Every structure is written in structure tokens, then in C-alpha cells.
Structure 1
Amino acid sequence: MTEHTEHPPHPVTGHPAHPVTGHPAHPVTGLPAHPVTGHPRRPLTGHPRLTGRPRRPLTGHLRHYASALLLPLVALTAVTYGAGELVTSLPTGEAAVNTGLAAWRSGLWNTLTDIGTSLSDTPYIVALTAATAAFLGLVRRRLHEAAFLVAAVWSQSLIFLATSALVARHRPPVHHLDPAPPTSSFPSGHVSAAVGFYCAVALLLAVRVRGPVARALVWTLGVAVPLVVAFSRLYRGMHFLTDVLWGLLLGACCVAVSARAILARRAERRAWRCPPRGGGVGAPGAAR
């Protein structure tokens, strides 16, 4: 009968050492623990086995996107419809803004605003979104970023189509420099689409580029394009002031909701799966 040998505790963790490997044993499972993360190793591969959080089934993912993406967008649709009904029922006096801009028109500004409004024409936004999403998903293998971009652009488009049909606000009483689409004036679909695409792309680029100057340049361009589109739509007599203001707000909300539902979730899951080395935040024994 062999004599049982008492192994000394591991000098770093204080846990009793595994009798075969010498690594500190996990206090619950008894398996040899990973020297960095402290999680028990898998018996075959030796990689750390993450414990304490069960795998989410498909219903868990559906529940997350229903609560983090679908419900906020439904609420935003209701708020947009209510805001549209409110501004159409009140004497806002916004026609004076359009009248003043119409009296200030010139050939140069007509050309410049034509270019400005084309930055967010529907065919361009659809093509740019499809091309960028395909590049992110197929070339860069960043499916979550592609999904975020599509969600940001198409969510604002769906809300715009639903609410503009219900609000049915007339166009400003000035000469229109563009053909009037069948949708109503509130909210501005051109402006919300510009925010949905250009600000979403700016957000993706801002987390990749290095240095505050580069980030400032990215965000300057990402914000400047929607503002140019907003002024162009006002100048060309296609929208009231509240139409473009709500378009800016609608696009920004759709970008924020999509980022929280998709990008933030991805970052959270990645941080949980890959805890920092050396006992950083999220690793066992990290300072709290």
C-alpha cells in the first residue's frame, strides 16, 4: 500500500497543487487551474475552461435583440408619430424660414445644395450600405459591424416610412427645387438616412484609428455630411425646420440603439471570453 504524499500549496495562488501537473488546482472542480486566468483547464486541450456563465441558447439571443433592438425602435416609432402629429397641429411659423431661404437662392447655391442633397439620395445610401456591409462582412470578417451598419440604416428607414405615411405633413409653401417624393414632409428621410449611414461608419472608424486627431477628423466628417444634407433640404424647399431636426434625432437614436444592441453586446461577450492577462479586470483575483 503506497503512502499518500501531501503536495504543498502553489506559491502564487495558495491553492493546493494538482498531484500530476503541479499547477494549482481549481478549488471547486479539482482540475488543474490555468496559471493566468485561474479557470480549470480542459482535460484534453489544456485551454482554460470558462465557468460561471452558461451558454445562451437561441432563445437568449432572440430575447436580447427583442429587448435591446426591437422594443426601442417600436417606442421610437411611436414617439416620432406623436411628435409629427404635434408639430402639424401647432402654428410653428416655420414657413418663414423656407421663404427666407427661397428669396436668398442663387445659381451657385442651387448647384451646391443639389450636390449636398444627393449625398443621401436613396439609391446612393442603399448602394453604399450594401457595399460597406459586404466589405465588412466578407472581406474583413467583421459580421457584427456589418450587422450594426445595416441595422442603423434600415431601422431609421422603416421608422421614416411608417411615420411619414401616418403624419402626412405637407411640404413647405415655396418652389421645390427637387421632385417631391410620395412620402410626407415629416420627418426628413434624407437627413435621418445621412445620420444612419455616415455617423455609423464614423463610429466604426473611430474605434479603429489611432490618435485623437484622426478620431476628431473622422467624427467631423461623419457629422458634417448630415448637417450639409439638412441645410440642402431646407434650402431647396423640401422640408420644414422641425422635419430636418427630427431627422437628425431619429438617425442618431437608431445609430445609438443599434450600437448598444450589437456592438456593445459583442464587446461584452468578447471581454468575458478573453479575460485580461496577469489578473486584469474580469480575471479571478483582480482588484475590485
Structure 2
Amino acid sequence: MAFLTRYVDDDSRPTVGSALRDIVVRAVLPAIALWLVIVGIGKLIEGPLGGLEGESSINKSLQAGRTATWDAVTMVWSHIGNTEIVIGVCVVMVALIWWLTKQWWVAIIPAIAIAIQATVFVLATAVTGRDRPQVEHLDPAPPTSSYPSGHVGASTALYLTLAAMCQRIPNKGLRYVLTVICLVIPLLVAYARLYRGMHHLTDVLVGFLNGIVCAFLAWNYLRRRRKA
């Protein structure tokens, strides 16, 4: 059974109880290990690595190259990763996928991904205290640590799961276009957060790590049977 087609290869309906159990065992518990890794990296950056001061040159270079046009463009890209936007897109997509597939256990995958990502992010920022880059911030700075990037983590978790779901689209051209869009969006968010002075490079990279792993855990949350 291929990873991306696991819900097509086995479309059996789970009980709510078994699905909840699988979420805990196969998604929530592994996410604890992810949180430990992210916190460990954060503590290394705060301590032995001395904040990775060399990263500041990236933020300063991007600040020096700012233009009114790119300020406007990156504002839109940055907003794509905002909590309210991510949640809104997720709710719409869960409802749409549920309606199209009649499979609630598949439709909830994006919600699982962003819920786990958000939990790991919030708990990680609670025990790390990295300051924002020392450049002009073009977005309001939320009262959380700069590390890791929640915008990048949330958009990555959401759009990777949607990219996986796009593989069920029978029209090859449409499948390709939508998959590429879903994969590009987190990259645009990441660039915008760097350009707008909201994160260091490692904040963004660990945000990707958080989002990718949470998307994997969400997609893999339900036990499926291999075809004979």
C-alpha cells in the first residue's frame, strides 16, 4: 500500500473510538518527541550556539532590498500563514473534502495536522525565548518567541496535507497544478516572514520541520490494512 494512496487502497470506515485512539497513539504521542527535538534545537541556539548571530546578515540584507511593491506582495504572503486564515481555509477544506468523499476520517486530516502543529509550536515558544531579528518589523509581533515560526509551521502542515489529498484528483493537469500551488504556498510564507523581519532563518527552517512532521503524522494517523 503506497503512502499517498493509503486511504484509497483501504477505504474502510473506522469507528470514532478507534480513530480517536489512533490519533493519540500514532499522532499525539510521536508529537511529544517532535516537541523535545524542537525545544532542544532552540536551547542550543539560545545557549552554545550563541543565538547564531551570523543569521542577522540575512535579515539586514533583505531589509536593505525592500521596496514598496515587495512590501505589499509579502504582506499578502505573510497573511496566508495567519492563524485566522489557516483555520478558515482548514474549515472550508474539511467541509469540502467531507462532502466530496463522504469520508469524515479523511476529511479531518488537515485539522489534525494544524492542531498538532499549533500545540507543538505554542508549547515550544513557552520554553524558548528568542528575540525577533534586530531589523524593522513590517508585521505586528505576537507575544511569542521568534522561535520557531508559527506561520511557516501552520501553512506547511495545512498545505502539505492538502497536497497529499490532491493526488486523488483524476484529472492529471488539475492534480499537478493544485499540488504545485499547495507546495509553493509555505515557501512564499517563509520568504515573507524573513523579508518582513519577523524571523531568523533557523526559526523558519524549524517551522518547516514542525509542519512537515505534523503533516506526516496526520496523514498516517489511521491504521490501514494492506491489500492482499
* Correspondence for 2:120: 159
Larger Rg, first or second structure (1 or 2): 1
1:233 aligns with 2:197: no
- Whether the aligned pair in 1 keeps the contact of 2:19 and 2:105 (CA below 8 Å) is no
Residues 161-190 of structure 1 show CA distances to partners (whole Å, capped at 9, x for unaligned) of 110121111000001011110111000000
Letter in 1 for 2:24: A
Distance in 2 (alpha carbons) for counterparts of 1:61 and 1:164 = 29
* Correspondence for 1:173: 134
Distance in 1 (alpha carbons) for counterparts of 2:207 and 2:221 = 21
* Correspondence for 1:53: none
Tell me how far 1:208 sits from its aligned partner: 2.6
* Correspondence for 1:186: 147
* Structure 1 unpaired stretches of 5+: 1-55, 272-280, 283-288
* Correspondence for 1:19: none
Distance in 2 (alpha carbons) for counterparts of 1:231 and 1:224 = 11
Letter in 2 for 1:172: P
Distance in 2 (alpha carbons) for counterparts of 1:124 and 1:107 = 24
The 10-residue stretch of structure 1 (213-222 or 243-252) with the greater mean CA deviation from structure 2: 213-222
Please state which structure has a larger fraction of its residues in helix: 2
1:76 aligns with 2:34: yes
What are the equivalent positions in structure 2 for 1:231-270 lying under 5 Å apart? 231-262=191-222, 265=223, 268-269=224-225
* Percent pairwise identity: 33
Tell me how far 1:59 sits from its aligned partner: 7.6
Tell me how far 1:136 sits from its aligned partner: 2.5
* Structure 2 unpaired stretches of 5+: 1-13
Q: How many residue pairs end up in the alignment?
A: 212
- Whether the aligned pair in 2 keeps the contact of 1:175 and 1:237 (CA below 8 Å) is yes
The structure with higher relative contact order (CA 8 Å, sep 6+) is 2
- Taking only aligned residues, the RMSD between alpha carbons, in angstroms, comes to 2.1
Distance in 1 (alpha carbons) for counterparts of 2:16 and 2:200 = 45
Q: Using a 3 Å threshold, how does the CA distance of structure 1 residues 58 and 112 change in structure 2: closer, same or farther?
A: closer
Tell me how far 1:66 sits from its aligned partner: 3.1
Tell me how far 1:62 sits from its aligned partner: 5.5
Letter in 2 for 1:154: A
SS of the residue corresponding to residue 175 of structure 1 reads: coil
- Whether the aligned pair in 1 keeps the contact of 2:35 and 2:120 (CA below 8 Å) is yes
Q: Using a 3 Å threshold, how does the CA distance of structure 1 residues 181 and 214 change in structure 2: closer, same or farther?
A: same
Tell me how far 1:78 sits from its aligned partner: 1.0
